[in-house]
Amino acid sequence: MLDPEGTVLITGGTGALGAEIARHLVGRHGVRHLVLAGRRGADAEGATALVAELEELGAAVSVAACDVTDRDAVAALLTAVPDAHPLTAVVHAARVFDAGVIGEVDQDRMARVFAPKVTGVRHLDELTRELAPRLSAFVLVSSASSVFLGAGTGGYAAANAYLDAVAHRRRAAGLPAVSLAWGPWERTGGQDAATGEAARNRSGRRGGVVPLTPPEGMELLDAALRTGETLVLPVRLDLRAVRADAALGGGIPALLRGLVRTGRRTARAGAGDSGGLARRLAALSPAEQETLLLGLVQGQVATVLGHTGPDQVRAETAFKEAGFDSLTSVELRNRLREATGLKLPATAVFDYPTPLALARYLHDRLAPGADAAPATHPLLAELSKLEALLADTASDDATRAQVATRLQGLLTTWSTASGTDQQAEQGLDFASDDELFDLIDTEFGH
């Protein structure tokens, strides 16, 4: 795939991952002509030392300052490659990592992530078709977030999905291309934001994926290139961790379900799961129920934050003080949803800001009225489910208006049947959508 007499262009070549790939191509594949492109060029930290290292290995290396979002600059970069050693391979490793759940991603953050990946690959794809007729390799450095485990990576996952799509499009056109959707990398001294994905994996593991060391990553690079596939996931898996996580109530990533055997899940009914947790709670006193649920919450918090055990999670320490952000808050919500069967709002960690407060909220949902003899009326139980569903569902304006109209009609009918006075009836008829949803929040649990 790689011609030792041809030139290999690596965008983001002075970054941590680009530099690692450059070393590997020279040392393992015998590449002798490299162009390392980056926005800062030779002024990038470590660039001088990297060039010296590669030249000592026998490669001729040039470092170019090039903004891959500038089409003219990319064209100039390609035309500057000497005819004696024409461009035969491109490795597009330029990137900016910016994690965040969708609700936090604004236009500026999206543009910042898309610029080097999406705009850059578009220019390289279009220009190399004309300016690099001898190109035999077009390698895109993507991320596993484009395929699975993308929760909380916002625009970054979308930008990588674009890279994957470009690879498929090029292959369909008979052009070389492979997109490598890497798993997270271990953060080592001196590495830059190119390995920032490891930082979001607070425990160093996420969904059974273990951060890669540079040697492991380069071995997987070679294995991926040998497959001849268009999209490959160089990822290190820990299936034992996935099984253990599932045993604690965590979900199994859909992509791994064919590799991990677990007990068959039974259908869930009402609040909580259909078996284990609900039956255990029913046999306990209210105080014991709260203790059990607090232990459940502390165990899931420990897993999300990477602690060795739930004993390291204090019951009354605020989640924010413990290090939770929007991503880990959503992950905790998802884990508790899997463990309890409840439809929990995405803001649960913010609404109930300590493990104890969250455990008491779960107790109210799973064992409402435990101190009182009368059972919850079925209608109120159904309204609680509706409340959770409304809180957990993102709807557009049209859907929101339709739901509000239906709820207005139901409330008006109920109020009339209950003998509500005409004034209250008219108040509901003329209430705005926001006022109606505020009413639901006030009456049914907020």
DSSP string, 296-310: HHHHHHHHHHT-SSG
Is 112 in a helix, a strand, or coil?
Answer: helix
Best CA proximity match to 28, nearest among 52, 8, 48, 14: 8
pLDDT value at position 430?
46
pLDDT value at position 194?
41
pLDDT value at position 417?
64
The tokens describing 177, both together, are 């291309």
Is 109 in a helix, a strand, or coil?
Answer: helix
- Separation between Cα atoms, residue 326 and residue 341, nearest integer Å: 22
- pLDDT per residue, tens digit, the chain (446 aa), is 688 889 999 999 999 999 999 999 999 999 999 999 999 999 999 999 999 999 999 999 999 999 999 999 999 999 999 999 999 999 999 988 877 667 777 888 888 889 999 999 999 999 999 999 999 999 999 999 899 877 677 788 899 999 999 999 999 999 999 999 999 888 755 444 444 444 444 434 456 788 899 999 999 999 998 999 999 999 998 888 777 766 655 667 778 878 876 654 433 333 444 357 877 888 888 889 999 999 999 988 888 887 777 888 999 999 888 888 777 788 888 888 888 888 888 788 888 999 999 999 999 888 755 444 444 566 776 776 677 677 666 667 778 788 888 888 888 787 776 554 444 444 544 454 455 455 555 544 44
